Amino acid sequence: MLGCAQTGTGKTAAFLLPVIQHLTVDATRGKPVVRALVLTPTRELAAQIGDSFDEYNRFLDLRHQVIYGGVSQRPQVSALRRGVDVLIATPGRLLDLFGQGYIDFSDVEFFVLDEADRMLDMGFIRDIRRILDLLPDDRQNLLFSATMPKQIVGLAGAFLTDPVRVEVDPQSTTVERIEQHVMYVARANKRRLLCHILSNEDVESAIVFTRTKHGANRVVKELDRAGLQAAAIHGNKSQGARQRALAGFKSGDVRVLVATDIASRGIDVAGVSHVVNYDLPNVSESYVHRIGRTGRAGLEGIAIAFCDETEAGYLRDIERLTGKPMHVISDHEWHYPEAMIVPAPTKSKGGGRNQGRRGGGGGQHRRRSNRRR
């Protein structure tokens, strides 16, 4: 099965509920064995899927385990030894524990590859192919993705056989209930503008996206100085710190979560009223996933994009992808019309086009595999 739907439309329930149903009807006796494997790109998304499993399995007796890196493997190994029906994992820790002999894939009946496009962006393609080689041939494969670029179509063709394709909405479209605005601002004034926006009581809870980890930390410090409680979540944070930040945001103790793209997928936090793109992403599809943190489950949301003098090219790419221009908010103290100008193209050293955009260290580098199945 190949499922393509925008973020926030219920893909997790779409694969977990049928898997739980099948495993419950055809229950095994004795010690549980891994019969379903869900592979996901980030620790946060793995934990989120695990929480959903707990909810759906509340009155059943199926066992599951979430495994990912950044934490001690001992509790994960203990659970595997006791036996689990469903394994939810990130690729690195999964292969690590398999290499140590703690995981047996021989009884896997269902393999779910979730957020496949994000997997590709994060360079997991080789790990995915290694895992596919370890699974039994007789299984059902399910691939879910918010977007369907050519690379994902190619990956799907490598292990899906005559798949049923379910497409909820056109690829890369944004949720209709989200109001999308852009504010042109000089780079030096972004922090002042952000503090001004977040000081408004109408902003009940907000996720602020930066392009880099250091940028996220700087924004949190600036918000703290302004008396606005915020927490950062990014790849340099320990898993414990990331979980505490997310838990505080979900409980309402922390009103603002500042994140890199690690949080743009799969984090389902109820009631996020605003998403602020402090830095515009240099990959247009990431914008769609970022703003999808609001406007979830039928609720309305507001997305505000800051565009400085280096980012007009990014904005144009995003508007081409979404198919409509953003509404410009100019009645603020730091409005900067010069930021609307797209820099002229220049030749890079490699001869490719470079539209004067600064990646800021946040570009998504993809590792390519020469292996062929």
Going by pLDDT thresholds of 50, 70 and 90, the confidence category of residue 119 is confident
Domain 2-167: state its class.
alpha beta
Q: Which residue has the higher pLDDT, 6 or 373?
A: 6
Q: How many helices (H) and strands (E) does the chain have?
A: 12, 16
Least confident of 53-57, 150-154, 172-176, 361-365: 361-365
Least confident of 62-66, 269-273, 274-278, 363-367: 363-367
> What pLDDT is recorded for position 158?
83
- Mean pLDDT, range 157-175, rounded to an integer: 74
Structure tokens at 260: 């890199």
Q: What percent of the chain has a predicted confidence (pLDDT) above 90?
A: 54
> What pLDDT is recorded for position 190?
97
Tell whether the model's pLDDT for residue 153 goes beyond 90: no
Q: What percent of the chain has a predicted confidence (pLDDT) above 70?
A: 86
Measured between alpha carbons, how far is 366 from 119 in angstroms, rounded to an integer?
10
- The model's pLDDT over 192-246, given as tens digits with 9 standing for 90+, comes to 999 999 999 889 999 999 999 999 999 999 999 999 999 998 878 887 888 888 8
Comparing 2-167 with 178-354, is the CATH topology the same? yes
- Mean pLDDT, range 132-136, rounded to an integer: 95
> Is the CB of residue 112 less than 8 Å from the CB of residue 64?
no
Measured between alpha carbons, how far is 192 from 185 in angstroms, rounded to an integer?
10
Where are the chain's structural domains?
2-167, 178-354
Q: Which residues lie closer than 8 Å to 293 by C-beta, 6 or more apart?
A: 7, 207, 263, 264, 267, 269, 272, 275
Measured between alpha carbons, how far is 178 from 273 in angstroms, rounded to an integer?
10
Measured between alpha carbons, how far is 270 from 293 in angstroms, rounded to an integer?
9
Torsion angle (degrees, nearest 10) of CA 36, 41, 46, 48: -120
Going by pLDDT thresholds of 50, 70 and 90, the confidence category of residue 369 is very low
Measured between alpha carbons, how far is 329 from 311 in angstroms, rounded to an integer?
16
- Mean pLDDT, range 131-151, rounded to an integer: 89
Tell whether the model's pLDDT for residue 170 goes beyond 60: no
Q: Mean pLDDT in the chain?
A: 85
Is 288 exposed, middle or buried (CB count within 10 Å of its CB: 0-12, 13-18, 19+)?
A: buried
Domain 178-354, what fold? Rossmann fold (3.40.50)
> What pLDDT is recorded for position 354?
41
Residue with tokens 């049923």: 164
